[in-house]
Amino acid sequence: MMGIEKTIVKPLLKLAGPIILASLFQAAYQFTDAFWVGRLGEKAVAAVAMSGPVIFLLTSLGIGFAVAGATLTAQYFGAKDMKMVGHSAAQTLLMVISISFGLSLLGYFISPWILKALGAQSDIFSDSLSYLRISFLGLIFNFSFFMFQSIMRSIGRPQLPVKIVVGTVIANFILDPIFMLGFGPIPALGVSGVAIATLLTQSVAAIIGLYLLFGGKHGIHLKISDFKPDLKFINKSFRIGFPSSIEQSARSFSFTIMTGLIASFGTLSVAAYGVSSNILQLMLIGSFGFAGATASLVGRHLGAGDKQSAYKTAKTSIKIIFVFLSLLGVLSFAFAPYLISFLVPNDVAVIEAGAHVLRFYSTIFGLIGVQVIIGATLQASGSTAQSMFLTIASQWLIQIPLAFLLSKTFNLGVDGIWLSFIVTAVLSSLVYLIVFQRGKWKEKRLIKQEEKDIIEITQEVKSDEIVPGEI
């Protein structure tokens, strides 16, 4: 990996390591569910696959505001304004919890309409509906813990969420079969039982996270007074977060459209897509970890006025993740059937179809990682509108039209959809790299532009300033 800045690798790894572990165990929620649901057969797998993109869609409406809070918190931290670090975190939590509560109610009541619009077939409709509704009820806990993780990452202390996630994942793995298959007085609830188990463990994680934020022993101390609505701050956060929210929603809604298109080719195609997507998420965890570390460091460098370090950090992260994910792609291509059979061990048809999809995915792991890192860099700088336009162009101007064209017009069937993933990744990555190299995002310094009373910080943010934190 020639050209990599060795002095930047250490702080990147120092932050990325715990984030990757947390993301790995966080993803284990999905993999634990997939592991147990796979024992119920093709229809159960398809029922969960139909629900996944829908949850992602409504979750994304609130994620943008969490991104805004993390961006501001990191830049205030870089400027050494600890009072505003706490205020920023509290105001963002207030917004995100309020949004998630509204989305939970909305999602619960419109779930039947959503599934019908997606074309869920009658043989999986009931299971999809129950799984989807229970998942909606857990949004408030999911959002809250997501914010806890984002806050801890933005101040350079990502280690603590790892322990919480590890504990809850272990609990989830134990509770899944109990609620799914029944145990003692607990009846066998099937797919619904898996959703209930995840809801219980995620609620415990959220409560612990909030307790620690108020405890004040881990680099940040929230106070009740910080939660008094600050309209000026909320307005600024909204202007930063709204484009990111639209971006995430556009991305997840495109997944929903793609799931509906895939469903037109039958339940087996949906199951293959669902199980291969779970493997894809696992393989991309490294990029999400480096994205979180990159966003934290870039935000702090820009908050301190050090544009050059921000650029070098992002560039180094891009190089590392491209090489790492490309190697994983080669391994995934070679061992695709074995990876799929781990999740669905008793269904030969799903294993064969899922491995076929995964091999399409594996050719573009590295390119997807590049997009993830650049997107995180743009968001950390506050260039959320630019990131939004890139996502919309990629998903709605390239992938969706191409998927319809190849699968329907050119009669390639479901393989046309898988091929559209590759073409979209190649074209989108080129555009992302052009935007990154132009470097306009480096000129964004939110607190310098909008907080006239903050003293200019001119010293470089050194890697030694990243404090591991007391766990």
Quote the pLDDT of residue 429.
95
pLDDT at 264 > cutoff 80: yes
What is the rounded average pLDDT of the residues 20-49? Answer: 74
Q: How far apart are CA 78 and CA 465, in angstroms?
A: 10
What is the rounded average pLDDT of the residues 364-388? Answer: 89
pLDDT at 354 > cutoff 90: yes
Helix (H, G, I), strand (E, B) or coil at 1: coil
Quote the pLDDT of residue 416.
95
Please enumerate in sequence order all residues whose Cβ is within 8 A of that of 441, keeping only pairs 6 or more positions apart, or say none. Answer: 377, 378, 381, 383, 386, 435
C-alpha distance across the termini of the chain, in Å: 34
Q: What is the pLDDT of residues 75-85, one digit of tens each?
A: 777 677 777 77
Quote the pLDDT of residue 357.
95
- For CA atoms 18, 20, 21, 23, the dihedral sign is positive
Q: How far apart are CA 118 and CA 262, in angstroms?
A: 10
Domain parsing of the chain, residue ranges:
6-465
Among 66-75, 89-98, 122-131, 356-365, the minimum mean pLDDT is found in: 66-75
Is pTM, for the whole model, over 0.85?
no
Among 28-37, 98-107, 253-262, 297-306, the minimum mean pLDDT is found in: 28-37
pLDDT at 234 > cutoff 50: yes
Answer with the residue of higher pLDDT: 317 or 153. Answer: 317
Distance set, CA 402 to CA 52, 367, 396, 408, 422 (Å): 23, 18, 9, 10, 11
C-alpha 264 chain-centroid distance: 27
Quote the pLDDT of residue 26.
67
What letters, b where the CB count within 10 A reaches 16 and e where it falls short, cover 281-319?
A: bbbbbbbbbbbbbbbbbbbbbbbbbbbebbbbbbbbbbb
What is the rounded average pLDDT of the residues 188-215? Answer: 87
Please work out, in degrees rounded to the nearest 5, the angle formed at the alpha carbon of residue 251 by the alpha carbons of 247 and 252. Answer: 120
pLDDT at 97 > cutoff 80: yes
Among 57-61, 90-94, 285-289, 451-455, the minimum mean pLDDT is found in: 451-455
Band of pLDDT at residue 399, cut at 50, 70 and 90: very high
pLDDT at 362 > cutoff 50: yes
Please enumerate in sequence order all residues whose Cβ is within 8 A of that of 59, keeping only pairs 6 or more positions apart, or say none. Answer: 103, 139, 142, 143, 252
Q: How far apart are CA 257 and CA 396, in angstroms?
A: 10
Strands (E), 125-174: none
What is the rounded average pLDDT of the residues 401-427? Answer: 94
How big is the chain by its Cα radius of gyration, in Å? 22
pLDDT at 455 > cutoff 70: no
What is the rounded average pLDDT of the residues 404-420? Answer: 94
* Token reading at 55: 């949850």
What dihedral do alpha carbons 114, 145, 28, 162 form, nearest 10°? 170
Q: What is the pLDDT of residues 137-149, one digit of tens each?
A: 888 898 888 888 8
pLDDT at 360 > cutoff 90: yes
C-alpha 412 chain-centroid distance: 31
Quote the pLDDT of residue 397.
92
Pair 242, 64: CB distance under 8 Å = yes
Share of the chain above pLDDT 70, in %: 86
Quote the pLDDT of residue 62.
62
Closest to 96 in 3D by CA, of 72, 67, 71, 62: 62
Closest to 160 in 3D by CA, of 211, 126, 118: 211
Among 65-69, 121-125, 158-162, the minimum mean pLDDT is found in: 65-69
Among 266-270, 346-350, 460-464, the minimum mean pLDDT is found in: 460-464
DSSP-derived letter for residue 405 is I
pLDDT at 30 > cutoff 50: yes
What is the rounded average pLDDT of the residues 393-417? Answer: 93
- For CA atoms 97, 102, 108, 113, the dihedral sign is negative
Band of pLDDT at residue 465, cut at 50, 70 and 90: very low
pLDDT at 420 > cutoff 70: yes
Quote the pLDDT of residue 249.
74
Most confident segment among 50-54, 117-121, 239-243, 345-349: 345-349
Q: How far apart are CA 177 and CA 364, in angstroms?
A: 35
pLDDT at 467 > cutoff 50: no
Band of pLDDT at residue 466, cut at 50, 70 and 90: very low
pLDDT at 229 > cutoff 80: yes
* Token reading at 242: 């709204």
Answer with the residue of higher pLDDT: 150 or 451. Answer: 150
Quote the pLDDT of residue 61.
66
Answer with the residue of higher pLDDT: 138 or 296. Answer: 138
Pair 111, 136: CB distance under 8 Å = yes
Q: What is the pLDDT of residues 148-157, one digit of tens each?
A: 887 887 777 7
Quote the pLDDT of residue 6.
64
Band of pLDDT at residue 445, cut at 50, 70 and 90: low
Chain mean pLDDT for the chain? 81
Share of the chain above pLDDT 90, in %: 24
What is the rounded average pLDDT of the residues 393-397? Answer: 91
Helix (H, G, I), strand (E, B) or coil at 467: coil
